[in-house]
Amino acid sequence: MRLMLLSGACLFAATGLIGELPSARVPVLVELFTSEGCSSCPPADRLLEKLDREQPVAGAELVVLSEHVDYWNSLGWADPFSSALYSQRQREYAETLPGEVYTPEMVVDGAKGFVGSSEGDARKAAQEAAKTPKAAIHVAVRREDKKATVSIHMDQAVDGTLYLALAHEAMKSQVLRGENGGRSLSHVAVVYSLQKVAKLERNGAGYDRDVVVNAQPGSRIVAFVEKAGVGRVTAIGQARL
């Protein structure tokens, strides 16, 4: 079932963890907007996990993020991973793609949105996205007591908004009520923090920034640049803690 809204409105060492994507593959950001309150979402959750695990698209390194929206929360089950922030991000995508706000929705590289359980659309969008090279973002993270410092480096900055996402490697939930009541659900790369770090300009210079975050052990850390705030992804990098 869809809930429709109108859119008009790695290695760990003492020095840290450094994650770099294989140079032979173009990194492609795959975001899934999902909810534990939506009966149509579990197949999309499984597809995202499959894309992450199998990396089935030649020439592409799929960097996945699961963003749980909150607009299902009043319909029987409050998704423990949901946030109004991800709902707003999806609404902004609906204005730029354009389209409608629904679950499950998958967005590839900020440029193509479709029903999140469609493997054919996911593969096609990722293949198309991999044809365009991206700037590399080198991400390193070091643990400091209960916090972590994420170091972000680019040899040359690109235009757009730099985002930093923190995501649980994997999460499970026993749903007690709502459309998925009685089901045990699993998720991959569940975002628990998403922040805008900086506005960047293509000026020929590099970019360096340290960001202190409340990163939890077993997290994925993804830095990416989107043109015009929420738009096509032009640079990306990731690490694991």
- Residue with the two structure tokens 């009541």: 181
DSSP β-bridge partners for residue 190: 66, 168
pLDDT of residue 102: 97
- Mean pLDDT, residues 213-235: 91
Domain assignment present for residue 197? The answer is yes
Domain assignment present for residue 64? The answer is yes
pLDDT for 200-221, tens place per residue? 988 778 899 999 999 888 899 9
Q: What is the count of structural domains for the chain?
A: 1
Domain assignment present for residue 8? The answer is no
**Which two tokens mark 14?**
């003492």
pLDDT of residue 156: 87
pLDDT of residue 23: 53
- Mean pLDDT, residues 33-47: 98
Q: Are the CB atoms for 1 and 95 separated by under 8 Å?
A: no
Domain assignment present for residue 68? The answer is yes
Where is pLDDT greater, at 187 or 7? 187
- Mean pLDDT, residues 144-165: 92
Domain assignment present for residue 61? The answer is yes
Query: Among 188, 156, 163, which Cα is nearest to 238's?
Result: 163
Domain assignment present for residue 151? The answer is yes
Query: Among 109, 119, 118, which Cα is nearest to 61's?
Result: 109
Residue 212's alpha-carbon distances to 32, 87, 197, 240, in angstroms, are 26, 25, 11, 15
Domain assignment present for residue 19? The answer is no
Which helix (H) or strand (E) is 21 found in, with range?
none
User: For residue 203, which phi and psi values (nearest 5 degrees)?
Assistant: -125, 10
pLDDT of residue 231: 86
pLDDT for 7-23, tens place per residue? 333 333 223 333 444 45
Domain assignment present for residue 1? The answer is no
Which CATH number do you get for residue 48?
2.60.40.2150
Domain residue limits at 61: 25-240
pLDDT for 83-121, tens place per residue? 999 999 999 999 999 889 999 999 999 999 999 999 999
At 49, is the pLDDT very low, low, confident or very high (cuts 50, 70, 90)?
very high
Name the H helices within the chain: 41-54, 84-96, 119-129
pLDDT for 111-152, tens place per residue? 999 999 999 999 999 999 999 999 999 999 998 878 999 999
Q: Are the CB atoms for 124 and 142 separated by under 8 Å?
A: no
What is the residue-averaged pLDDT of the chain?
A: 89
Cα angle: 85, vertex 56, 60; to 5 degrees: 70
